[in-house]
Amino acid sequence: MLQAIFAGIVAAITGFASSFAVVIAGLSAVGASDAQAASGLFALCLAVGLCCIVVPWLSKVPISFAWSTPGAALLLAAGATTGNFAAAVGAFLVCAALIVLCGLWPALGRVITGIPKPIAGAMLAGILFPICVAPVTATIEQPLVAVPMILVWLLLARLAPRWAVPGAMLVAAIGIAVIAGPGVFAGHGVLPRLEFVAPVFEPAVIVSLGLPLFIVTMAGQNVPGFAVMSTFGYTVAPRPVLLTTGLASAGGALFGGHVINLAAITAALMASPEAHPDRSKRWVATVSSGFVYLALGVGAGAAAALVAAAPPVIILAVAGLALLGALASSVAGALEEPEHRVSAIATFLVTASGVSIVGIGSAFWGLLVGGLFLLWLAPARRQRAASAPETTSETAPEDPALAAQPDAS
C-alpha cells in the first residue's frame, strides 16, 4: 500500500504548493485581513482533507477533492468590485447553496453544464489572462526574484512537470524571505485560527462574484472531475458529490474559504495505475492525501504571512505560472468551434477588460455579452449551414477564411 500512500502525499503537496498563494491573494483582494485569509486557507484545507478521508473511506472509490484554483483567480479579478470581505463570504455561501441545489435538482446542473463550451471557456480565459501576464511584468519590476523563479519553472516543466509550480513557489519564497528579512513572520501567529465571518448578502456582489464562482466551479472544475474519474473506469454519482462539496463549501465559507469541488488534475494521479496497479486499492491514495491536507493546513498562518510580505506582482506571477495550463485549456475550448469564435472572443474581451458596471464585475458582463452574441449570430449560422453546398475531397470550402483556420485541438 506504500505506493498508494506516496501517490496521495505527492498529490496533496503539489496541489497545495501550486495554488495556496493564489488562494491567499484572492481572499485578500476581496477584503480579507491577513488573519482572515489564513483562516480561509485553513478552512479550505480542513474541508478538502475531511472530504478526501471520509468519502473514499466509505465508498472505496478514489474520489478526491480540491479547492477551486480558477475560483481563487476569479477573486483576484473581483477585487475591483468589492473590498467588503463579509459581502464576499455572502457570495461564497450563495455559490455553495447553488451547488447543493444542483445535487438536489439535477435539471439545474444540466443547465449550468449546458452553457456552451466556447462561452464558458472564454469567460474563464478572460479571468485568467491578466493574471497569466503577471510573470512578464514581474521580470521587469522584480527581476531578482522573478527571473530565477521563471527559469526554475521552465527547467522543471521539462524534467519534472508535476513539480514545476511548487519549485517556482519555493524559489519565490526564498526570494521573498531575503527581501523581507528575518521579520517576515513577525506579528503572525504560528498556528492558524478559524475566524468566523458573519456574511452580508449584497446583490451586486452575489451577481459579480457568487454566480461566476458557481459557474466556474461547476463547468470548469466538477465536470472535468467527473470526466477524469470516468476515464479511469469509475462511475461517480453526481448527487452525493455535489451535496458533499456544497455543504463543505458552506461550512468553510463561514470561516473565509471560497469553495471546494471535485478534483481533476490531482484526481488523475490518485485514480490512475500510477497510484496502484489494483484499482480497488487506489482509494487509499485519496485518504492519505486528506491527512496531508489536514497537516498542511497547520501552516496556513505562515503561508499568509509569506504572501503578505511579498511584492504583489510576485504573487501574481506565481499565480500566473500555476494557471498557465488552465488558460491554455480554456482558450482551446473557447476557439474549438469556428462558428462560435466571434461570441467567444467577445466574452473574452469583456471579461479580460475588468470593467465594472453598476458595481457588477466583468465576469458576469462577459458571460452576458457572449450569450447575446451567440443568440444574435445564431440565425446567420443556421442560414449559412442550410445554404452551404456539401463539400467533398475535390471541393474546397466556400469560405477561404474558414479553410485557413487551424485545428484548435
The answer on pLDDT for 163 being more than 70 is: yes
Give this prediction's pTM: 0.81
3-state secondary structure string, the chain?
CHHHHHHHHHHHHHHHHHHHHHHHHHHHHCCCCHHHHHHHHHHHHHHHHHHHHHHHHHHCCCCCEEECHHHHHHHHHHCCCCCCHHHHHHHHHHHHHHHHHHHHCHHHHHHHHCCCHHHHHHHHHHHHHHHHCHHHHHHHHCHHHHHHHHHHHHHHHHHCHHHHHHHHHHHHHHHHHHHHCHHHHCCCCCCCCCCCCCCCCCHHHHHHHHHHHHHHHHHHHHHHHHHHHHHCCCCCCHHHHHHHHHHHHHHHHCCCCCCEEECCHHHHHHCCCCCCCCHHHCHHHHHHHHHHHHHHHCCHHHHHHHHHHCCHHHHHHHHHHHHHHHHHHHHHHHCCCHHHHHHHHHHHHHHHHCCCECCECHHHHHHHHHHHHHHHHHHHHHHHHHHCCCCCCCCCCCCHHHHCCCCCC
- Scanning 181-217, the segments in alpha helix (DSSP H) are 203-205, 211-217
In the block, residue with C-alpha cell 514581474: 138
Q: Answer whether residue 316 shows pLDDT above 90.
A: no
Are 120 and 348 spatial neighbours (Cβ–Cβ below 8 Å)?
A: no
The whole-number average pLDDT for the span 24-38 is 92
Rounded mean pLDDT of the chain? 85
Cell of 15: 496541489
Confidence of residue 55 (pLDDT cuts 50, 70, 90): very high
Q: Is 109 exposed, middle or buried (0-12, 13-18, 19+ CB in 10 A)?
A: buried
Distance CA 90, CA 95 (A): 9
374 is written with which cell numbers? 451567440
What CA–CA distance (Å, rounded) separates 78 from 30? 7
The domain ranges of the chain are: 2-376
pLDDT in tens, 67-101: 998 899 899 888 777 779 999 999 999 999 999 99
Q: Are 207 and 358 in contact (CB under 8 A)?
A: no
pLDDT at 185: 57
Taking only the tens place, the pLDDT of each residue in 337-375 is 888 899 999 999 999 988 878 777 788 888 889 989 988
Q: What is the tens place of the pLDDT at every residue in 242-264?
A: 999 999 999 999 999 999 999 87
Residue 408 is predicted with a pLDDT of 34
- pLDDT of amino acid 28: 92
Averaged pLDDT, 213-223: 87
Q: What is the mean pLDDT of residues 186-215?
A: 85
Q: List the Cα angle 139/321/47 in 5-degree steps.
A: 135
Is it the case that residue 400 has pLDDT exceeding 60?
no
- From 212, 216, 171, 206, select the one nearest 69 (Cα to Cα): 216
Summarised one tens digit per residue, pLDDT across range 112-135 is 767 788 888 898 888 889 888 999
Short-list 32, 49, 42, 22, CA closest to 193: 42
Confidence of residue 385 (pLDDT cuts 50, 70, 90): low
Task: For residue 187, name the pLDDT band (cuts at 50, 70, 90).
Answer: low
**394 pLDDT exceeds 50?**
no
